[in-house]
Amino acid sequence: MARKRYSDEDILKLLREIELKLADGSDVRSACRGVGVSDATYYTWRRRFGGMGRSQLSEHLSVVQLFCACFQSITFFTFCRVSSL
């Protein structure tokens, strides 16, 4: 079975759908299967995105992008320094 990549916005939407099904009295396994994901995926997503809204998601993504840019700069600086020795 092929793996499907979900965008962060899609994950938030699916988490909301699952939470609505759980509020209606469904169990976790059937709620997850209803939206097409496994319960393990649900728990992973909930740990990563739990309680996060769209505005918080955009803040989270900007912090991650900033971290990646800083890491790339540090890596490049270290590489240039080592290669000049």
DSSP string, 11-74: HHHHHHHHHHHHHTT--HHHHHHHHT--HHHHHHHHHHHTT--HHHHHHHHHHHHHHHHHHHHH
pLDDT tens by residue, 8-34: 788 888 988 988 898 899 999 999 999
Question: Given pLDDT bands bounded at 50, 70 and 90, which one contains residue 48?
Answer: confident
